[in-house]
């Protein structure tokens, strides 16, 4: 059954749709039994070997880089606890690389350093009990280096561990990396505006210099950020107290991130793992407690991102545990070069924010497509499936309002072609919230095999071709809110709700084609 494009306002009862329906088992319990629990994922569960990759798009199996049997140990090089050892570390890395590669061992102890530049064929290995503390002073991250900050290319501090145009590099072990201490790095971070309003997109990158001299602002160093690198391994380590995003491969190919533990709670923009305009990436068995998004896929921002025009693609995320953060797995909001061919499976999101999050803005460009999610368990404080495509006026001005009439242009982003399967939602404020873009609605989302316990059901604005099939939705709310939506369908869905029927709230005459097939309901008591 469908509704024509007539104008509806208020609550329209759909009880007539249920008269001939009987309660059925809508969800295949055997499939949902394969969804992992928190005890089965994360860093503590990482096996020694890397299992073959099985993705819904062509992708080669991932293998660790191999290093020559050549080792240097920090203690043998004159390093002592309590002294600044940046030069000793860098000289050892340079020498190993020049000789064809090997392993630099950071032994047990407390060590202090500034920025480290990793070089080809070198494995920086932290033994268990090793703790590498990074300086909080800008001078220890100079001279400025080529980097990308929030999707825009600049010359600034780079990263605590940086690499540019290198291959076969690794950071491994059971040791800890501790981010910049209190000092000029944190005091001089640019916070007064969004970066695209600060860095002119028509200025050559070589002239976009932000070095903090005379107290001027800087763009903060990421924790680990290889750029233009190939064959990268980051495995087993623990990261704490970053100044900004934690692990950020940029323009990289063949990246493995596994068994990493990240703790950046209460750090603004303290993202866990951000993949930026990179391809052929495997992320597995990571545990994330962050001050922002736990996992994020990015591809450049606005005009500068369009200039580079490099996608993030061929990425597999599996067996990861998000324990705290704004989003379990997020696309964007930097999407100019497109995010495509992402497969997230067998993960658990127990963070207080959103579960699966799609984020862009009208002036960001690009978007996301061919995105696949399977066997996900979540208990989140906000929305299970969240599309946030408009943002706030603080960041994009009037463009944040859907009432603002904007024509499709080069910077208009799109999200489309998304498949979500075998989803266990043990708690969330909403099942699905969509704030799409009126001139570029969310398109073609297929959701199959869901069991969800939520406070509210659907709030969808500016979307088309959304299908929910084989679902058990337990909710304290009985309303579906729709604005400018087309071809929204429910098939083989049981609503367990306080009312005797689902209500549709349509607040725009542009909405039509709500289709329901084989729907049932179970009345429950409203929780107080």
pLDDT by residue (tens digit) across 392-430?
888 888 999 998 999 999 999 999 999 999 999 999 999
pLDDT at 445: 98
Domains of the chain listed by start with CATH number: 1-38+307-395+407-528 (no CATH), 71-258 (2.160.20.10)
pLDDT at 514: 79
Q: State the pLDDT confidence band at 31, using cuts at 50, 70 and 90.
A: confident
End-to-end Cα separation, the chain, in angstroms? 35
Distance set, CA 124 to CA 94, 250, 257 (Å): 12, 19, 14
The token pair at 173 is 């072990």
Q: State the pLDDT confidence band at 196, using cuts at 50, 70 and 90.
A: very high
% residues pLDDT > 70 (the chain): 93
Q: How many angstroms separate the CA atoms of 302 and 196, rounded?
A: 8
Q: What is the mean pLDDT of residues 477-495?
A: 93
Q: How many angstroms separate the CA atoms of 513 and 354, rounded?
A: 28
Q: How many angstroms separate the CA atoms of 196 and 109, rounded?
A: 42
CB 68 within 8 A of CB 100: yes
Q: What is the mean pLDDT of residues 291-308?
A: 97
pLDDT at 2: 35
Instruction: Tokens 């570390």: give the residue.
Output: 89
Q: How many helices (H) and strands (E) does the chain have?
A: 6, 35
Of 129-138, 232-241, 259-268, 478-487, least confident by mean pLDDT is: 478-487
**pLDDT > 90? residue 527:** no
pLDDT at 16: 35
CB 489 within 8 A of CB 464: no
**pLDDT > 80? residue 509:** no
Element (H, E) at 162: strand 159-164
Q: What is the mean pLDDT of residues 356-378?
A: 97
DSSP three-state, residue 137: coil
Q: How many CB atoms lie within 10 A of CB 479?
A: 17
Of 85-94, 177-186, 236-245, 387-396, least confident by mean pLDDT is: 387-396
CB 500 within 8 A of CB 3: no
pLDDT at 43: 98
Q: What is the mean pLDDT of residues 54-60?
A: 95
φ/ψ of 452, rounded to 5, equals -140, 140
CB 17 within 8 A of CB 516: yes
Q: State the pLDDT confidence band at 504, using cuts at 50, 70 and 90.
A: confident
- According to DSSP, the β-strands at 152-156 and 145-149 are antiparallel
Q: What is the mean pLDDT of residues 251-272?
A: 97
pLDDT at 508: 62
Q: How many CB atoms lie within 10 A of CB 392?
A: 10
Q: How many angstroms separate the CA atoms of 199 and 217, rounded?
A: 12
% residues pLDDT > 90 (the chain): 87
pLDDT at 24: 56
pLDDT digit string, tens, across residues 59-112: 999 999 999 999 999 999 999 999 999 999 999 999 999 999 999 999 999 999
* Nearest alpha-carbon partner for 453 in 422, 425, 423, 485: 425
Q: How many angstroms separate the CA atoms of 323 and 402, rounded?
A: 33
Is 86 buried (19+), middle (13-18) or exposed (0-12) by CB count in 10 A?
middle
pLDDT at 8: 33
pLDDT at 486: 92
Looking at every residue in the chain, the average pLDDT score rounds to 93
Q: How many angstroms separate the CA atoms of 116 and 473, rounded?
A: 50
pLDDT at 507: 67
**pLDDT > 70? residue 5:** no
CB 140 within 8 A of CB 115: yes
Q: What is the mean pLDDT of residues 505-509?
A: 67
Distance set, CA 75 to CA 170, 175, 234 (Å): 20, 16, 23
Q: What is the mean pLDDT of residues 432-448?
A: 97
pTM of the model: 0.94
pLDDT at 360: 96
pLDDT at 523: 87
């Amino acid at each position: 059954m469908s509704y024509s494009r007539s104008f509806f306002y208020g609550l329209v009862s759909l009880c007539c749709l249920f008269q001939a329906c009987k309660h059925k088992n809508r969800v295949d319990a055997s499939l949902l039994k394969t969804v992992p629990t928190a005890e089965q994922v994360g860093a503590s569960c990482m096996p020694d070997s890397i299992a073959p990759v099985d993705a819904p798009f062509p992708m080669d199996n991932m293998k660790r880089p191999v290093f020559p049997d050549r080792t240097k140990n920090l203690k043998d090089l004159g390093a002592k606890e309590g002294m600044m050892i940046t030069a000793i570390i860098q000289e050892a890395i340079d020498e190993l690389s020049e000789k064809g590669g090997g392993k630099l061992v950071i032994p047990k102890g407390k060590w202090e350093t500034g920025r480290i530049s990793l070089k080809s064929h070198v494995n920086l290995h932290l033994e268990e009990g090793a703790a590498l503390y990074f300086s909080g002073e800008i001078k220890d991250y100079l001279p400025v280096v080529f980097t990308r900050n929030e999707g825009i290319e600049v010359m600034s501090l780079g990263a605590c561990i940086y690499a540019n145009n290198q291959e076969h590099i690794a950071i491994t072990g059971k040791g800890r990396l501790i981010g910049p201490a209190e000092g000029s790095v944190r005091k001089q971070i640019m916070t007064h505006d969004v970066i695209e309003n600060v860095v002119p997109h028509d200025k050559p990158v070589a002239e976009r210099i932000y070095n903090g001299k005379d107290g001027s602002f800087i763009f903060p160093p990421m924790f680990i950020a290889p750029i233009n690198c190939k064959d990268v391994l980051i495995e087993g380590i623990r990261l704490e107290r970053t100044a900004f995003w934690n692990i950020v491969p940029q323009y990289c190919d063949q990246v493995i991130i596994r068994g990493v533990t990240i703790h950046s709670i209460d750090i603004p923009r303290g993202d866990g793992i951000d993949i930026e305009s990179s391809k052929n990436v495997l992320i597995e068995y990571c545990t994330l407690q962050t001050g922002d998004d736990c996992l994020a896929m990015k591809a450049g921002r606005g005009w500068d991102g369009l200039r580079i025009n490099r996608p993030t693609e061929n990425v597999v995320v599996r067996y990861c545990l998000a324990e705290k953060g704004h989003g379990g797995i997020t696309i964007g909001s930097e999407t100019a070069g497109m995010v495509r061919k992402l497969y997230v499976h067998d993960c658990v999101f127990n963070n207080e924010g959103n579960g699966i999050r799609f984020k862009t803005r009208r002036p960001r460009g690009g978007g996301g497509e061919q995105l696949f999610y399977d066997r996900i368990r979540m208990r989140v404080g906000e929305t299970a499936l969240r599309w946030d495509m408009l943002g706030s006026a603080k960041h994009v001005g009037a463009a944040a309002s859907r009432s603002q009439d904007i024509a499709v242009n080069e910077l208009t982003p799109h999200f489309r072609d998304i498949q979500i399967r075998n989803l266990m939602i043990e708690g969330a404020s909403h099942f699905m919230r969509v704030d799409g873009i009126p001139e570029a609605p969310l398109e073609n989302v297929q959701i199959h095999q869901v069991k969800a316990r939520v406070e509210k059901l659907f709030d969808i604005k500016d979307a088309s071709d959304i299908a929910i099939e084989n679902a058990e939705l337990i909710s304290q709310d009985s309303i579906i809110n729709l604005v400018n939506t087309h071809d929204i369908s429910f098939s083989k869905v049981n609503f367990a709700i306080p009312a005797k029927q689902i209500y549709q709230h349509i607040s725009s005459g542009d909405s039509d084609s709500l289709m329901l097939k084989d729907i049932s309901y179970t009345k429950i008591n409203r929780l107080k």
